[in-house]
Structure 1
Amino acid sequence: MTEHVVVVGGGLAGLAAACRLADAGARVTVLEARARLGGATFSFRRDGLVVDNGQHVLLRCYTEYLDFLRRLGVADRVHMQERFHVAVLGADGRRGELRRTGLPAPLHLAATLAGYRMLPVADRLRVLRAAQAMRRLDPADPVLDERSFGDWLAAHGQNAATVAALWNLITVAALNTDAAHASLALAAMVFRTALLDRADASDIGVPSVPLDALHAEPAAAYLRERGAEVRTRDAVRAVRPAGSGFEVVLDDRTVRADAVVLAVPPEPASRICPSDAVGEPGGWERLGSAPIVNVHVVYERRVTDEPFVAVVDSPVQWVFDRTSIAGTSQGQYLAVSVSAAHRWVDTPTAELRELFLGELGRLLPAARGTRSTEFFVTRERRATFRQAPGTARLRPAAVTGLPGLLLAGAWTATGWPDTMEGAVRSGHEAARLAINHLSGRRVGSVA
């Protein structure tokens, strides 16, 4: 294959598509408007620290994402748990844990749910009954997407305590929204795929290097080794049909392409796409967005030995030790990941400092008398699309109304939530369709 494919967008979806296309023999050009690759997963430097814009983790069920890392030769840059285990802290001093045993699913979680100290015994039984009922849900059933997860939980005997101490612990982190506002279809997909259907699916992987060293740098090297062109600071303004292919319009030139993969968020995708390639005008933008806030704290000495902990009944949701990843040997660098962060995304840093340092002092006794030497906040206002009921019908397929123009991105109709796995799956699917389109065009020209 010698046809030219332009991939618009250098996030995970675009990089995954470009790598697969390059391996298929296509001549690939990646065009990224920003000065960096990585999309929603990137790193930057601040006062001697290497900082990720947000804390990203993966699960063993992220099969295509893990294959992507193996393709790039960086799978060893992720620390993967041998068995799922999460320490859970309560703001009132309680401590629980979630862990799997060596038993097959669904028995692998029965013991930990039955003994979960963050809930009284009666509520643990409620959770077990609801988990059993959830295994009977089909995430692909479109009816489920019209209902909220919160409504389903209430109908299956869950109360405020079980939602706060368990269901939202997972839902908020996975869907960037709480159960009351989450699509039941997406929630069922998360709980079934990650926790209920396969025993090892929930094992957690945490990058052991900054995100740039995990995604952007190795992907750029991989592509250039295969003759691809990777350009940053090159914004695409439009894609329009031209003969049997396309013209990709930039500020200073026009690039010809035999196929185009548009791997950008919904709003720019709507602007760039020709009108006859888009379905309902404005439909993609109606997906909306949800923010994530990350609070970064450096203490002058270590305050916890946990690599990460989950938290209930506190503005703090998850805490990660990023000391070694950030390249510092002094003190301890903690990142607090706060999803569904509408309440905090516009709060001044000074107020967040007072609140979160106080909360960390309550949760981690060693932090109470330890001075923080750095405190800063990163805010991703459009971290994910809004994963609410009714969004499935707004997520477009990879194909568009123009053969050879494909969409990619975690917001497209992958069947997955807005995750790294969803992004990579979308890129692989767009690449597969582009290859099929070009192969079919060659056969047609011969005929």
Structure 2
Amino acid sequence: MSAHVVVVGGGLAGLTAACDLADAGARVTLLESRARLGGATFSFQRDGLAVDNGQHVLLRCCTEYQRLLARLGTADGVVLQERFRMPVLAPGRPRTALARTGGPAPLHLVAGLATYGALPVTDRLRAFAAAAALRLLDPADPALDERTFGDWLRGHGQNDTTIGALWNLVSVAALNCDADGASLALAAMVFRTALLDRADGADIGIPRWPLEELHVRPAEKYLLTRGAEVRLRSAVRAVERDGPGFAVRLSDETVRADAVVVTAPPETAAAVCPPAAGLSARRLAGLGASPIVNVHAVFAAPVTDLSFAAAVGSPVQWVFDRTAVAGLDRGQYLAVSLSAARTWLDRPVAELRDVFLPELGRLLPAAATTPCTRFFVTRERRATFRQAPGTARLRPPARTSLPGLVLAGAWTATGWPDTMEGAVRSGHHAADELAAHLGGGAP
């Protein structure tokens, strides 16, 4: 393949597609509207700390993201559990955990769930029955996308306590949506892929490097060494058909290409693509958006020995030790990750401090008596699309109605939720479509 391909957008999907296409022999120009790459997964410096805009994790079942890191030479930047274990904190109660044994799926979860202290024994038994039924669902069944996960759970004997202390621990983190708002199809996909179909699927991987070092700068370097052009502050206004190829219109110039990958957010993609591409702005607007808020607290001394933990019975959802990854050499830096965070999105920093510092003290007693020396908040208003019932039919495939113009992004029809893994898979799908169109074979 010797074609010129323009990739619109430098997020994880765009970087992946660009790397695939460059490897396939295309001349790649990547255009990013902002002054940085990374899309929704980026890092920045604040008061000497390397800060990720949000806490991202991966699971062992996220195979394509791990392959991308291996390709970029940064696989060592993730610490992956040998065996799934999720510490769970609750105010005033002993620390407990969800964990797996070394047995085959789904028996690998039996012992861990049987001793899970956040649920009464009767609720644990009900959870076993629901998990067995969930394993029989087909995530590709369109009927599942018309129903909420919460409705299905209640129909299978799950009460509010079980949903809050078990099912929502995964659904909120993976889908940026609680069970009562989440598509049953996406929830079934997550639980089956990560927890029920294979024993090691949910083993948790935590980045030990900032995202900028893990995949953003390495992907940029990978592209530059293969002759690609990477341009920042290059907002695309329109993509138009131009003879057999395309004209990509910027504010003050036009870039011509044989093919184009558009990886912008859905409504932006609909606005820049020509009508002949077949994208409906109204339809894509139906995907909506769901925010994520991260609360960052630096303590004068260590307050926990946990690298991460989930929480129940508290506004805190997940807490992560960011001390080493941020480059802090004194004290401890904790990040509280809040998904489906519309409640907290517009609250002032002072109010969030008044809520979350005491909550950390309830979960981690040492935090109640250790001075907090720095406190700040990061907010992603449109972190993911709203992964609610009915969204499966709104997510477009990579291929548009115009040959040579394809889409990528975790919001496209990957079969995965809106995650880093979904973004990488979408980039591969887009590159594969263009390789076939341009006659170059699969990258």
- Say yes or no: TM over 0.5: yes
2:84 is matched by which residue type in structure 1? F
Contact map agreement 1:94 1:118 (CA 8 A) in 2: no
By how many angstroms is 1:355 displaced? Answer: 0.5
Mapping of residues 291-302 of structure 1, within 5 Å: 291-302=291-302
2:407 is matched by which residue type in structure 1? L
2:436 aligned partner:
436
Contact map agreement 2:416 2:422 (CA 8 A) in 1: yes
Question: What CA deviation, in whole Å up to 9, does each residue of 1:256-284 have, x standing for no partner?
Answer: 11110001111110110101213434111
1:436 counterpart SS class: helix
TM (norm. structure 2) is 0.99
1:444 aligned partner:
none
Q: Distance in 2 between matches of 1:310 and 1:32?
A: 35
Contact map agreement 2:16 2:428 (CA 8 A) in 1: yes
Mapping of residues 334-349 of structure 1, within 5 Å: 334-349=334-349
Q: Distance in 2 between matches of 1:179 and 1:378?
A: 25
By how many angstroms is 1:92 displaced? Answer: 3.2
1:318 is matched by which residue type in structure 2? W
Paired-residue identity, % = 69
Moved more, 85-94 or 212-221: 85-94
Q: Distance in 2 between matches of 1:221 and 1:406?
A: 24
1:113 aligned partner:
113
Q: Distance in 2 between matches of 1:124 and 1:256?
A: 60
1:359 aligned partner:
359
Q: Distance in 1 between matches of 2:247 and 2:366?
A: 60
Distance 1:15 1:266, change over 3 A: same
2:385 aligned partner:
385
Q: Distance in 2 between matches of 1:126 and 1:152?
A: 13
2:423 aligned partner:
423
1:445 aligned partner:
none
Give RMSD over aligned pairs: 0.9
By how many angstroms is 1:91 displaced? Answer: 2.1
TM (norm. structure 1) is 0.98
1:369 aligned partner:
369
By how many angstroms is 1:440 displaced? Answer: 7.6
2:276 counterpart SS class: helix
The alignment status of 1:61 with 2:32, answered yes or no, reads no
Q: Distance in 1 between matches of 2:440 and 2:293?
A: 46
Q: Distance in 2 between matches of 1:188 and 1:92?
A: 33
1:325 counterpart SS class: helix
1:404 aligned partner:
404
Contact map agreement 1:31 1:230 (CA 8 A) in 2: yes
Q: Distance in 2 between matches of 1:253 and 1:359?
A: 52
Q: Distance in 1 between matches of 2:328 and 2:162?
A: 39
1:132 aligned partner:
132
1:198 aligned partner:
198
Q: Distance in 1 between matches of 2:210 and 2:347?
A: 27
Uncovered stretches (5+) of structure 2, i.e. residues with no partner: none
The alignment status of 1:221 with 2:221, answered yes or no, reads yes
The alignment status of 1:185 with 2:185, answered yes or no, reads yes
1:335 is matched by which residue type in structure 2? A
Distance 1:281 1:377, change over 3 A: closer
1:282 is matched by which residue type in structure 2? R
Contact map agreement 1:172 1:340 (CA 8 A) in 2: yes
1:37 aligned partner:
37
Q: Distance in 2 between matches of 1:201 and 1:252?
A: 48
2:142 counterpart SS class: coil
By how many angstroms is 1:93 displaced? Answer: 2.1
Contact map agreement 2:271 2:281 (CA 8 A) in 1: no
Contact map agreement 2:145 2:185 (CA 8 A) in 1: yes
By how many angstroms is 1:313 displaced? Answer: 1.2
Distance 1:397 1:193, change over 3 A: same
Q: Distance in 1 between matches of 2:282 and 2:219?
A: 33
Q: Distance in 1 between matches of 2:92 and 2:395?
A: 41
Mapping of residues 97-108 of structure 1, within 5 Å: 97-108=97-108
1:263 aligned partner:
263
By how many angstroms is 1:34 displaced? Answer: 0.4
Q: Distance in 2 between matches of 1:93 and 1:380?
A: 32
2:347 counterpart SS class: coil
Contact map agreement 2:32 2:235 (CA 8 A) in 1: yes
Uncovered stretches (5+) of structure 1, i.e. residues with no partner: 442-447
The count of aligned residue pairs is 441
Q: Distance in 1 between matches of 2:48 and 2:112?
A: 41
Q: Distance in 2 between matches of 1:220 and 1:150?
A: 41
Contact map agreement 1:238 1:273 (CA 8 A) in 2: yes
